[in-house]
Chains A and B, each alone.
Chain A
Amino acid sequence: MARFLLYRIFQAFFVIIAVTLIVSFAIRLTGDPALMLSQGAGSVTEEDLANIREALGLNQPFLAQYMDFLKGLLVGDLGKSFMGGISVTELVARALPATLALAFTSLIVSIVISIPLGIKAATSRGRWPDQVIRILSLVGLSFPNFWLAIMLVLLFSITMSWLPPSGMEGFESFIMPAATMGIILTATNVRLVRTTMLETLNAQFVMVARAKGLSENVVLYKHALRNCSIPLITYFGLQFGGLLGGIVVIERVFNWPGLGTLAFDAVAARDYPVLQGVITVLSLLIISINLIVDIAYGLVDPRMRKG
C-alpha cells in the first residue's frame, strides 16, 4: 500500500513538473511582454526594450527563469505580475476563493436539481417522466454556455432588473453564473443518479425497507440515496476538477473576479507570471483531487492499485 501511495505521489509530482514546464514554455512563445508594456510609447529603442526585459527578469535563459519559478513555488511565492508588480500569490489568493465558490455553488445547484430528477427518472423508468427528464437534461447540456449566460443577463438583469449583471457581491450575484454552469452538469448528473439508483433499487435492503411499509419517499431519499452516496460523491468530486477548467468563459461574461478572468487578461497582456501562477494552481487542484480520488479508490478496491 505504501508503495502504491508513493508511486501515485511520484506520478503527481511528475505531472506538476510537466504542466508547469509546458505552460512556462508555451507562454514565452506568445510574444515579448516588453513590447506589450511599451506599446504606444512612441519610438522605442532596442535599449529601452532591453531595460524593460532586464527589469522583468526576461534576459535570463528560459531554464533559469523556470527554476526561479519552481523555487518560488516551493515557498508559495508565484512571482510578480508584469502589470504593476503585484504579487501573483496575492492575486491568485484573491481569485481562487471566487472561482472555488462559483464552482462549488454550480455543483450544488446541479446536485440539487439532479438528485430528485434522477430518482424520479429511475422510479419511472421508461415511462413519460423518465423521457421528459432525460431529454430536458440533454437540452441543458446542448446550450452553448456563454450564449445561455448572455440570454440570462438579458432576461433577469436588463428586462426584469432582478439580478446584478456582473461582479461578485453577495448571494444574488451567484445565481446566474452558477445556474449556467449547473445546467450543463445536470445532464450528466441526472444520468448518474438514475443509473446508480436503478442498481440500488433492486438491492435487498430496499425490498426489506419497502416490505416494512416505510413510505416511498423515506425509502428513496433515506435508504436508497444514502447507499448511492459514495459513488455519487466520487463522481461529483471528479467533476469539480473539470468545472474549474471550464469556468473561464462564464467568468468572463459575468466579470467574475476569479482565476479565469485573471488568466484571460494575463494572456492578453502577456503577463507570464500571472498565467503561470493561475494554471499551476488550477492544475495542482485538479491533480490533488484526482490523487485523492485515486487513493480512496485504491484503498477500497485493491485491483485499482495497478495504476
Chain B
Amino acid sequence: MRKTRVFTHSLLASALMLGSVTAYASTLTVSSPQDPGSWDPIDTFLVNWSSVATNIFDGLTYRGPDLKLVPGLATAWEELDKGSRIRFTLREGVTFHNGEPFNAQAVKFTFDRLLGEEGARGPQASNYSAISEVNVIDDYTVDFRLAQPDPVLLTKLAGYGAMIVPPQYITEHGDEHFNRNPIGTGPFKLADYTPRESVRLDAYEDHWAGAPKLSQVNYRFISEPATAVAELQAGRVDIVIPPTIPIGMIDTIKNNPSLSIVSVASPTVEALRFNTKSGITADERVRKAIIMAVDRDAIIDSILAGEAQSIASFQGALSFGYDPELKPLPYDPQQAKSLLKEAGIKPGTQLQIDVRGNDSTFGEVAQVIASYLQMVGLNVSIRPYETNVLLNDIIPAGRTGDMFQQKWGGWTFDYDNTAYLMYHTGERWNPYDSDPKLDKMLEEQRSLTDQAKREQLLQFIARYTQDRVLEIPLYNVNALYGVNNRVQNFQAAPDNRLRLNEVYIAE
C-alpha cells in the first residue's frame, strides 16, 4: 500500500512537471520492447505491433487467449462451393473511432488494399494470397473467393493484415497519415503517439462489445529487459509483456509481494538444427547420438526454471499437428557413445554451434548442451552471431556450423507454418536438406480441406522428421508476463495479442 502511494506521488510530480494529464487509477501502463513505427496493419509482422494494435482494430474473426476462434466483426460464416468461397455475415451497428460506419464496403476496401499495391509494399500481403477477391453481396454480407484452399485462413482473419480499416478516413487522409493516426473499430482508440517512446490509447466507449473498463492504456517502449523489470518493480509499469522477461529475473519478480509472473505456453519453440549435408552431422547416427547425449529435461528444470515444455518435434502442444503420442528421444549418454563409436567418430571431434548473440538464456542452454556433448567426447565451440546476421546471412546461405539455433513460432499455431518452411526443399530456412518424400507430404497437406486428415498428415510429418533426426527439438517456452497485483482480470495471451478491454485496476 505504501509503495502504491509513493508511486502515485512520483507520478503526480512528474505529470505536473511535464504539464501532462494527471494519472488516473484506471490508467494501465504496459512495457513493450519495440515500437513498430507504423500502426497500419499491412505494414508489419511484429508481435509488438499486435500487442498494441489488437486493442485498436478488430478482425472479422476473433481469437482470444483461449485460442478459440469466435465471431468478431463477422457474426457468422459458412463455406460455399466446396470451400472455394466463404460467406461472412457482418455485425451491424459498429462504428470506427471517427464515427465512420463499418459495413461490407469497409471489408472489401480492407482486402483490396491489402492485396493491392499498398499491400505489396509490406510483408503482410503474402499471408493472404489465398484470397482472390472480396465481393459485396449487401451492406452486411461479403463473399471471399479463394484462389487456393488455405486451412488457416479463418485464423489469419483474426489478426495482423486482416484488421478492418476505415475506407473514407484512409482515402481522405492517405496512407502516411494512417500509419501514425490509425482508426479502427477496436475497444481503444489511439490518443497520442510519440515514436520510439510511447503510445497512449483511450477507451472507445462505443465499442460493440461494450466500453472497456480501463480509461487509458499507456505503452512505453523499453528494449532493455532489466530496465523494464526495474520499472515494474518501481511500480511505474503495470505489465511487462513477452518476450522481455529473462528467466534469471523470474525470482526477482516472484520475491516482490506486489508483483506476479503470469506464464502461458507460447507458440515459440527452440531447436538446434543440423547441417545434414556435410560434416559429421550428415550421419544420421551422429545426429541421434547428439540428441541422446543431452538431458533436455534437466535443462528445462534448471536453466529455464521450469518455464518450458519438452517437445518431440519442432512444435508445441498447442500447435495443430501436435501428436501427444510422439515422445522425445530419451536421454541416454551410453547409447549416444556407442552410436558415435559406430559412426566412427573419434573422441575430441570438433563441433560448432551457432547461436544468437543477444539471447542470454539460450546462451546458457547452449553451454549446458556443450558440456553434455563434452561428456560423450565431442568438443563443442559456440559461435554467437548478431541475430540478424544469423537469420539473414548465415542460415539461408548454408554457412552455419554443424548445428545452429532456430527459434520459431507462428501466431497461427499451425505446424504447416513451421514444417513447410523448415523442411521443404529450397525454403530459406532449409539450407541443407532435400527429401522428396517430405516435400510431397508438405505440399499435400496444404491442399487438404478435411482438417482431421490434415492433422493426421501433419502428425505423420512430425514423426518422419523425428525419424530422420533433422534437429534437436529442445523445448516450447512459456510466454512470461510480469504483472503488478493491482491489475485485475488479466488473462495472459499466448501469442502476445493482448486485448485489454476486460482488464481493470484495483483501487
Q: Which chain A residues have a beta carbon within 8 Å of chain B's beta carbons?
A: 30-32, 35-45, 48, 51-52, 54-55, 81, 83-86, 90-91, 94-95, 150, 153-154, 157-158, 161, 164-167, 169-172, 252-255, 257, 261-262, 264-265, 268, 270
Contacts and interface: CB of A to CB of B under 8 A. Distances in A.
A121 to B, nearest CB: 36
30 contacts: A35-B391, A37-B44, A37-B122, A37-B123, A39-B123, A41-B45, A42-B126, A42-B410, A43-B420, A43-B427, A44-B126, A44-B428, A52-B122, A55-B121, A81-B37, A84-B43, A86-B195, A91-B196, A94-B194, A150-B226, A157-B230, A158-B230, A161-B234, A165-B227, A165-B230, A167-B231, A253-B224, A255-B222, A261-B223, A268-B387
Interface string B79-116: 00000000000000000000000000000000000000
A38 B427 contact: no
Looking at B3, B14, B179, B388, the one whose CB has the most chain A CB atoms below 10 A away is B388
Contacts, number: 148
Can you list the 9 inter-chain pairs with the closest CB atoms, starting with the nearest?
Answer: A84-B37, A84-B38, A83-B37, A55-B121, A165-B230, A38-B123, A170-B17, A31-B392, A41-B123
Given A52-B123, A153-B230, A165 B236 contact: yes
B37 A85 contact: yes
A252 B234 contact: no
B219 to A, nearest CB: 13
B176 interface: yes
Given A31-B389, A150-B226, A253-B224, A157 B234 contact: yes
Contacts of B124: 41
Given A85-B38, A253-B227, A164 B123 contact: no
| Interface size of B as a range | 35 or more
B222 A84 contact: no
A32 B428 CA distance: 14
Interface of B: 3, 6, 10, 13-14, 17-18, 34-40, 43-45, 120-127, 176, 179-180, 194-197, 220, 222-224, 226-227, 230-231, 233-234, 236, 386-389, 391-393, 410, 417, 420-421, 427-428
A254 B227 contact: yes
Contacts of B220: 167
B197 A257 contact: yes
A83 B123 contact: no
Contact of B36 (A35, A83, A252): A83
Contacts of B35: 83-84
B195 A91 contact: yes
A51 B120 contact: yes
Contacts of A42: 126-127, 410, 417, 421
A257 to B, nearest CB: 5
Contacts of B123: 37-39, 41, 44, 48, 52
A52 to B, nearest CB: 7
Contacts of B236: 164-165
Given A41-B123, A165-B231, A270-B388, A86 B428 contact: no
Contacts of A153: 227, 230
Given A161-B234, A166-B230, A261 B196 contact: yes
A255 B221 CA distance: 9
Contact of B18 (A51, A86, A169): A169
A43 B126 contact: yes
Looking at B36, B123, B410, B420, the one whose CB has the most chain A CB atoms below 10 A away is B123
Contact of B223 (A31, A161, A164, A255): A255
Given A35-B392, A157-B234, A85 B17 contact: no
A51 B392 contact: no
Given A157-B230, A265-B196, A48 B36 contact: no
Contacts of B43: 84
B501 to A, nearest CB: 25
Contacts of A170: 13-14, 17-18
Given A55-B121, A165-B236, A36 B410 contact: no
Contacts of A161: 3, 6, 234
A237 B313 CA distance: 60
Nearest to B38: A84
Contacts of A171: 17
A164 B10 contact: yes
Nearest to B221: A255
A158 B233 contact: yes
A264 B37 CA distance: 15
B126 A45 contact: yes
Contacts of B230: 153-154, 157-158, 165-166
